[in-house]
Structure 1
Amino acid sequence: MKKFEKKSAGPLERLRLKSGIYAASFTVLAILLAVLLNLIVRAVPAKYTEFDLSEAGLYSLSDSSKEIARSLTQDVNIYYLAETGSEDAILTKLLDRYASESSHIRWERKDPAVYPTFATQYGVQSAENGSLILVSGEKSVVLEASDLYDYDYSDYYATGSYSVTFGGENKLTAAIYRVTSGETLHAYYTTNHGEQALTDTLIDALEGQNLAVSPLDLLTDAIPDDCDLLIVNTPQQDFAAAGSLVDEMSALRAYLKSGGRLMLTTDSYYSTPNLDALMAEFGLSRTPGLVVEGDSGHSLSGYPYYLLPDYAEDTGSGTLDGIDTSRRVLLQMAQGITLTETEGVTSEPLLVSSESSYSKTAGYEMATAGQEEGDPDGPFTLAAYASNNATGAEVIWVNCGNMDNEAVYQTVPGNVTFLQGCAAALAGQEGTTLVESKALEAAPITIPNHTAAALGLVFVLILPAAVLAVGAVVVLLRRRR
Structure 2
Amino acid sequence: MKKTKSNYLRYGGYATLLTLMVIAITIVLNVIVTDLNFKIDTTAEKLYSLSANTEKVTKALKTPVNIYVLEETGKETAGLKEILNKYDKLNSNLTVTYKDPILYPTFANAYKKTSSSTVTAGSVIIENGDTGKYKVLSQTDLYGTTATDTSGVTLSSITIENAITNALGYVSTDVDGTIYYTSGHNELAIPTALKDASERANLTLTELDLLTAEMPSPDNSIVLVFSPHTDFTQEEIKKLTDFLDQGGKAMLFMDANMPELTNYNELLSYYGIAHEQGVVIETDSNYSLTSYPTYLLPAMVSHDITNSLTQSKLPVVVPFTSGIKNLNNARNGVTLTPLLSSSDQSYLKKNINPSTYEFEDGDINGPVILACAVEENNTLDAQNPINTRLFVMADSFFLDDQMVSLDSTGNKEFLTNAFGWLFSIDNSYAIEAKTLENYNLRSISSSQLIIFGGLTMVVIPLVILILGITVWVKRRHL
* Superposition TM-score tier, normalisation by shorter sequence: 0.7 to 0.9
The separation in 2 between residues aligned to 1:108 and 1:185, in whole angstroms, is 29
Structure 2 match to 1:182: 174
AA paired with 1:142?
V
Matched, 1:339 2:322: no
The separation in 1 between residues aligned to 2:246 and 2:468, in whole angstroms, is 92
Deviation at 1:467, TM superposition (A): 8.5
Structure 1 match to 2:402: 407
TM alignment of 1:306-317, pairs within 5 A: 306-313=295-302, 315=303
The separation in 2 between residues aligned to 1:399 and 1:235, in whole angstroms, is 12
- The 1:435–1:464 alpha-carbon spacing in structure 2 relative to 1, beyond 3 Å, is closer
- Give the gaps of 5 or more residues in structure 1: 1-29
Structure 2 match to 1:238: 231
Kept in 1, the 8 Å contact 2:346–2:367? The answer is yes
Structure 1 match to 2:135: 141
| Structure-1-length-normalised TM-score | 0.80
| CA shift digits 1:396-435 (9 cap, x unpaired) | 2100121222221111541111111112211221251121
Structure 2 match to 1:429: 425
Kept in 2, the 8 Å contact 1:55–1:442? The answer is no
State which drifts further: 454-463 or 142-151.
454-463
The separation in 1 between residues aligned to 2:149 and 2:252, in whole angstroms, is 37
| Structure-2-length-normalised TM-score | 0.81
AA paired with 1:135?
E
Kept in 2, the 8 Å contact 1:339–1:348? The answer is no
Q: 1:171 aligns with which of 163, 166, 170?
A: 163
- The 1:150–1:324 alpha-carbon spacing in structure 2 relative to 1, beyond 3 Å, is farther
- The 1:267–1:201 alpha-carbon spacing in structure 2 relative to 1, beyond 3 Å, is closer
TM alignment of 1:374-393, pairs within 5 A: 374-390=362-378, 392-393=387-388
Q: 1:82 aligns with which of 67, 71, 74?
A: 71
- The 1:161–1:257 alpha-carbon spacing in structure 2 relative to 1, beyond 3 Å, is closer
Kept in 2, the 8 Å contact 1:131–1:145? The answer is yes
Q: 1:118 aligns with which of 107, 115, 118?
A: 107
AA paired with 2:356?
T
- The 1:464–1:196 alpha-carbon spacing in structure 2 relative to 1, beyond 3 Å, is same
- Give the gaps of 5 or more residues in structure 2: 1-23, 379-385
Kept in 2, the 8 Å contact 1:293–1:357? The answer is yes
Runs of 4+ in structure 1 over 6 Å off: 158-161, 467-474
| CA shift digits 1:343-399 (9 cap, x unpaired) | 32322211111122122232x121122334553321111111223444643222100
Kept in 2, the 8 Å contact 1:319–1:421? The answer is yes
Structure 1 match to 2:272: 283
The separation in 1 between residues aligned to 2:448 and 2:184, in whole angstroms, is 60
Deviation at 1:227, TM superposition (A): 5.7
Matched, 1:192 2:184: yes
Secondary structure (helix, strand or coil) at the match of 1:135 reads strand
- The 1:472–1:414 alpha-carbon spacing in structure 2 relative to 1, beyond 3 Å, is closer
AA paired with 1:296?
S
The Cα RMSD (Å) is 3.3
- The 1:388–1:160 alpha-carbon spacing in structure 2 relative to 1, beyond 3 Å, is closer
Matched, 1:62 2:54: no
The separation in 2 between residues aligned to 1:279 and 1:84, in whole angstroms, is 58
Structure 1 match to 2:91: 102
Aligned length: 430
State which drifts further: 396-405 or 123-132.
123-132
| CA shift digits 1:107-128 (9 cap, x unpaired) | 0211112111111122276433
Percent identity between the two aligned chains: 29
Structure 2 match to 1:12: none
Q: 1:418 aligns with which of 414, 417, 422?
A: 414
The separation in 2 between residues aligned to 1:459 and 1:83, in whole angstroms, is 52
Deviation at 1:472, TM superposition (A): 12
- The 1:79–1:468 alpha-carbon spacing in structure 2 relative to 1, beyond 3 Å, is closer
Kept in 2, the 8 Å contact 1:229–1:260? The answer is yes
- The 1:384–1:53 alpha-carbon spacing in structure 2 relative to 1, beyond 3 Å, is same
